Amino acid sequence: MSLVETWIAAFLTLCVFSFLYRDNPFYRFAEHLFVGAAAGYLLAVQYQNVILPNVWMPLTSGTRTPLSITLAVIPAILGLLMLARLWDRMAGPARWAIAFYVGVYSGIAVPGYLQAQIFAQLSDAVKPFEPGWGAINSALILLGLLTVLAYFFFSAPHRGVHGLGARVGIWFLMIAFGASFGYTVMARVSLLISRVQFLLRDWLHLIPTT
């Protein structure tokens, strides 16, 4: 980063951090600047990477065949139909594009999800226990699976053996939430560390460069 870029980045970082004291115009300036810049950047990138190569170029340059033109025009029309929801009279045709999208997305997602997230995980859950100490891990995974499933089975009252399993399931869930929350704290602290590293190293030159 050049000197000017570093100073701008440092100023904006401090503007955002100033919110920790209280809401103020500097924070709001940085916030609005970020929203505007991010929206503009996203629009420009999508135009360059999606509209230009997939719609504009096939229609205006290179070898144009009826097939290549059709493959550019039909998705473009479907895309425009998505925006047609803004007009009441066009709300009906707008659903065609959404229906097409939902159909294609479901076709792609459902088999992939079943294969990777359901069947592969089920197969792992019922595999034979690992030898030695690994058996304890396998037993815990199986116990966790069965008790958490028991907790989420609401078609029968949580009483007796089912109730006991559900209560153990809650413990497994709480431990999982705790681990996840610990990781979340670590992630947020990492973001702060990175910004402080930037301020102390790149801006103030108080710590050596990597």
Partner 1 sequence: MSVMSRILAIDRRMIFLFIGLGTAVPLLWPVNLPITVTPRVEAAYQTIEALPEGSTVLIAMDFEPDTMAELLPMSIAVLRHCFRKNLKVIAITLYPAGPGLVEPALRIAATAEHKERNKDYTFLGYKSGFQTVMIGFGESIRQQYPVDFYQTPLDSIPIMKGVDSYAHIDLVINLTASSAADYWIQFAASRFHKALILGTTAVMATDYYPYLSSRQVLGLVGGMKGAAEYEKRMDLFGDARRGMDAQSLVHVIIALLVVLGNAALFVTTRKAP
Footprint of partner 1 (CB under 8 A): 20-21, 41-42, 45-46, 49-50, 105, 108-109, 112-113, 115-117, 120-121, 123-124, 141, 176, 179-180, 183-187, 189-197, 200, 206-207, 210
Q: How far is the CB of 91 from partner 1 (least distance, A)?
A: 26
CA distance linking residue 72 with residue 66, whole number of Å: 10
Q: Which is nearer to partner 1, 70 or 197 (CB)?
A: 197
Q: Which is nearer to partner 1, 45 or 74 (CB)?
A: 45
Buried b (16+ CB within 10 A) or exposed e, 139-149: eebeebbebbe
CA distance linking residue 44 with residue 50, whole number of Å: 10
Q: How far is the CB of 114 from partner 1 (least distance, A)?
A: 9
95: its two tokens:
């659903």
Q: Which is nearer to partner 1, 7 or 101 (CB)?
A: 101
What count of Cα atoms within 13 Å lies in the side-chain half-sphere of residue 36? 6
Residue in this structure with the two tokens 């340059």, named with its chain if needed: 61
Q: Which is nearer to partner 1, 13 or 84 (CB)?
A: 13
138 Cβ partners below 8 Å, 6+ apart? Answer: 127, 129, 130
Q: How far is the CB of 41 from partner 1 (least distance, A)?
A: 7
Q: Which is nearer to partner 1, 43 or 156 (CB)?
A: 43
Q: How far is the CB of 117 from partner 1 (least distance, A)?
A: 7
Q: How far is the CB of 16 from partner 1 (least distance, A)?
A: 12
Measured torsion, CA atoms of residues 113, 115, 121, 127, in degrees rounded to the nearest 10: 170
